[in-house]
Amino acid sequence: MPLPIIALALAAFAIGTTEFVIMGILPEVARDLGVDLPAAGLLVSGYALGVALGAPLVALATARWPRKTTLLVLMGLFIAGNLLSALAPGYGLLMAGRVLASLAHGSFFGIGAVVASGLVAPTRRAAAVALMFTGLTLANVLGVPLGTWIGQGWGWRATFWTVSVLGVLALVAVAALVPRAGRAAAGEGGASEWRVLRDRQVLAALGLTVLGFGGIFTAFTYIAPLLREQTGLAPGAVTGVLCLFGLGLTLGNVLGGRLADRWPRGSMLGILAALAAVEALLALTATRPLPAIATVFAWGIAAFATVPGLQMRVLERAGAAPTLASTLNIGAFNLGNAGGAWLGGALLAADWSLRSLPLAAAALALLALALAAVGGSSPATSSSSLQLVKES
């Protein structure tokens, strides 16, 4: 894989760290700013909404810029947002910093996926996207635990200072290694790009992303209480299991990229079926430590094995609007995350047990499988789509 994709992966690592590390330092943030935990938890929701709603607008606003220039500006936004978070004297400015940083998230991954896929042969495009997303998965394995440790030892502001430094390193790497990309192709940019949402195949691909990740987060949002209350693991052991889940994500991301390049349709159907099976199995193994830990690891592999295929599916269906469609798919991931977390909470409020949540997740995975099955075979990438990617 070309070095420019490594630079994109480094940026993905920084962005992924700032997205998830807030969960590990919420008590410190709440205590220092004098707010309760639910209010502090809105810092997570604010970030997710910034990704889902703001990123497509940023992508449209920058659609006619050279893509490398856009990536650099987005990393500048990311750094500014984290610096504002580190310096924020109160809750309001901290939320503003989170939202500002989130605007870089969706657009960077959306544009980065287009750029990464254009740096390799067509038969390795999904693998290239997977390598870029490896930075996001490694953020869960390395960045989040490290950021949490820093925040607990030196204060939560130190965490945001550290992430800001990561952002600067990523910006330098992108500036030095990513080649100067061409401008958007004719027909890209402006409100006309939203016409891509008239395409039923694009809508189906976005719906597939929402359903797949909605199911994952229906259960994963509550994985800590599940492991503690049902499996009987100590808090320290739960942290270790979550790291193992992160390793599974990393392996699944690489595996999914290779499978999507070789068997685009078949691999997506198989991975979604495996995801549903593993989630249903977790409901059975949750009461026994070793089987539960093994299932969580397998769950991580199946969960992120879907990502490269889902991203490439949207790119292939998008025709003349690859950048917007790719960015919308990142928003769809976040809508699935938010919707799944809400659904899991609603089920618990309705007196469903923690062990029932993986079954609900499996049901959503089966719905995604049905949608993928009726969506028809994945078409070969059109010549126009390939040309757009090459011009990136």
Inform me whether the pLDDT recorded for 390 exceeds 50.
Answer: no
CA distance 301 to 254: 9
| 136, 15 contact by CB (below 8 A) | yes
With 0-12 / 13-18 / 19 or more C-beta atoms within 10 angstroms meaning exposed / middle / buried, residue 251 is middle
Asked if residue 35 lies in contact with residue 91, where contact means CB atoms within 8 angstroms, the answer is yes
Q: Looking at residue 298, what is its pLDDT?
A: 94
> 76 versus 328: which is more confidently predicted?
76
> Which CATH number applies to 1-183: 1.10.3760.10, 1.20.1250.20, 3.40.640.10, 1.25.40.10?
1.20.1250.20
Question: What pLDDT, on the 0 to 100 scale, is given for residue 192?
Answer: 56
- The confidence band for 159, taking pLDDT boundaries of 50, 70 and 90, is very high
Question: Each residue of 299-320: pLDDT tens digit?
Answer: 989 988 887 777 777 766 666 6
State the average pLDDT over residues 74-90: 95
Would you state the pLDDT for residue 84? 96
Measured CA to CA in angstroms, residue 274 lies from 15, 204, 215, 295, 304 at distances of 29, 20, 13, 12, 12
Q: Which CATH superfamily is domain 195-392 in?
A: MFS general substrate transporter like domains (1.20.1250.20)
**pLDDT reported for residue 349:** 81
Residue limits of CATH 1.20.1250.20 in the chain:
1-183, 195-392
Asked if 121 and 133 touch (Cβ cutoff 8 Å), the reply is no
Predicted confidence at residue 40, as pLDDT, reads 76
Q: How far apart are the first and last CA of the chain?
A: 17
Instruction: Give yes or no for residue 44 having a pLDDT over 90.
Output: no
pLDDT, tens only, 198-234: 777 778 878 888 888 888 888 887 777 788 888 888 8
Angle at 139 between CA 134 and CA 145, to 5 degrees: 150
pLDDT digits (tens, 9 = 90+) for 253-282: 888 878 877 877 788 889 999 999 999 999
